[in-house]
Amino acid sequence: MRILRLYYINKVLLQHGLDELIPAKWLPWYAKLGRYSFFWLRNQHQDKSQGARIRLALQTLGPVFIKFGQMLSTREDLLPQDIADELAILQDKVAPFDSQVALNIILQAFNLADINELFSDFNPTPLASASIAQVHTAKLHGKEVIIKVIRPAIKRTIESDIELMRTVAMALQKLLPDGKRLRPVEVVEEYEKTIIDELDLSHEAANGMQFKRNFEGSPALYVPTIYSEYSHRNVMVMERIYGTPISDVAKLKALNTNMQKLAERGVEVFFTQVFRDSFFHADMHPGNIFVSTLNPADPQYITIDFGIVGTLNSEDKRYLAENFIAFFNRNYRKVAQLHVDSGWVPSDTNIDDFEASIRRVCEPIFQKPLAEIEFSNVLLQLFNTARRFNMVIQPQLVLLQKTLLYIEGLGRQLYPELDLWKTAKPFLENWMKEQIGLKAMYAKIKANAPYWSEKLPELPDLVYDTLKQIKILPEQQRQQFERLQWLQKQQHKRTKWLIFGATIIVLASIVPLYHSHLWLAGFLLAGGGLCWIRAWNVKVD
């Protein structure tokens, strides 16, 4: 199955002419020979641009590859404009599946004979179609809603691709010098968990409701209502929202949207999700983000598609915040020490060398707008630094890293002059104060007050029991010491009987060599056996 899938992937890439994108001088002789061996798999899309061929190939290969294209589409700084524009189509314009199939799935989910029994104004033409699902519009009890439907048989394709990725990851982990440090198998497993969860819309519904609670009344982010009573494993009903796609920068500017405030609120929303809630939207490509048109001077984000979310434990969150603040303050010594303390680099790392390497990479990027920062070069240098100091890749942070790439890509599109450091630093400093200052201590005491009020009546009994145990502790220690001495004596007795018995048995085996009296050997053998029986009857427990 994996071999067939691998062949299919290569077939699609060759039929879309993607091998032509790699300069011949970069290919070893065996790769060139292999390419010419597949002479019947020629480029069938020579009339299309490079970007169109890449998009069509990713779209043909399915959701795992489409997700990769969606992430790349936000990085216009890393791609030629024509390729970035083509990949942007993957955000919400993937070819839809048959509307009748979608209708049948909806009818089966709600046990309906006719769609009008529950929904009115159902539109069989999809409003949007993405890699995992497509959406249709309708009305539910007079309210405008969208109905999200999972693509049929999509799980089988995803599982096949994940198995192929796992096989490749296992090979890389064994073959590459950096294999164990990069932990590719764990990264694939983390990705598998997130994308499989995305196939169950009941998970997405629960995630969406959590986001709704977290940002209730927020001027920065609006989360549409999800109708949980009408949501199932492969069908979900949600409030229909109206807004401008975040990727339509021209329209946002035409509406006189405050682009600087919009970009800064994007950073604020991200850090709020990560550090306040420990629950962040991990699929923030432009197809999932809109801007409300109600008040362009005070813009508000609208987000959809909650299938992939990320969480961080308190320890990782604390280390990340401290790292960010240390970066913003250019305290590279602390950054290096934090990496050692967290276990992300080995404890025997030379802190001075690590500090110097981090300074060399990060110093050039400060106090510059996003438009002037070559992040691709910075990321490459950071990767080389990590490899030099044996930094272990953290699988739990992969989603966060992907989301950071999305945020950066959006920031470039919206407001290239955004000062990311100036925007994020006050937020993180305030968060740290809340975690370690007097305010944090008061908050923890207040949060634990119900628990302590419940346990307070038991405190006198606990104190009395503790004092009682302390009082009898010397006597218990004396008894334990005497018990230990007795066990040692008994063990010594057993050992003596075992040695005595073994000696007699050895004599019994020698006697027949010098005397013909076998009765003497038998007598000695019996005596040795009795000694062993006596040894095992000695009590040592």
Per-position pLDDT tens, the chain of length 541? 566 767 777 777 777 777 666 665 555 655 566 656 665 667 767 778 888 888 888 888 777 777 767 666 655 555 677 777 787 777 666 778 888 999 999 999 989 889 999 999 999 999 988 778 899 999 998 899 999 999 888 888 788 778 877 777 777 677 666 556 556 677 677 667 767 777 889 989 999 999 999 999 999 999 999 998 888 889 999 999 999 998 888 999 999 999 989 988 888 888 888 888 888 888 777 778 999 988 999 999 999 888 888 888 777 777 777 877 787 778 888 888 888 887 777 888 888 888 888 888 777 776 666 556 655 456 556 666 766 777 766 655 666 766 776 777 777 778 887 776 677 778 777 777 776 666 666 666 766 667 667 767 777 777 777 777 777 778 777 788 788 888 788 777 777 777 777 777 777 776 666 665 666 667 667 777 777 677 777 666 6
- Of 283, 298, 353, 461, which one is the catalytic site residue? 283
What single letter denotes the amino acid at residue 277?
D
Q: Which residue has the tokens 């390497």?
A: 357
* Angular region, 221: left φ>0, alpha ψ -120 to 50, beta rest: beta
Which tokens belong to 18?
């993607």
Known active-site residue 77: no
- At residue 180, the pLDDT reads 65
Report the alpha-carbon distance of residue 418 to residue 90 in Å, rounded: 27
Residue 5 near residue 160 (C-beta atoms within 8 A): yes
- At residue 20, the pLDDT reads 66
Neighbours of 418 (CB within 10 A): 23
Domain boundaries along the sequence of the chain = 2-91, 245-436, 462-536
- At residue 27, the pLDDT reads 58
- At residue 302, the pLDDT reads 95
- At residue 148, the pLDDT reads 95
Beta bridge partners of 279: 311
Task: For the chain, give the number of residues.
Answer: 541
- At residue 14, the pLDDT reads 76
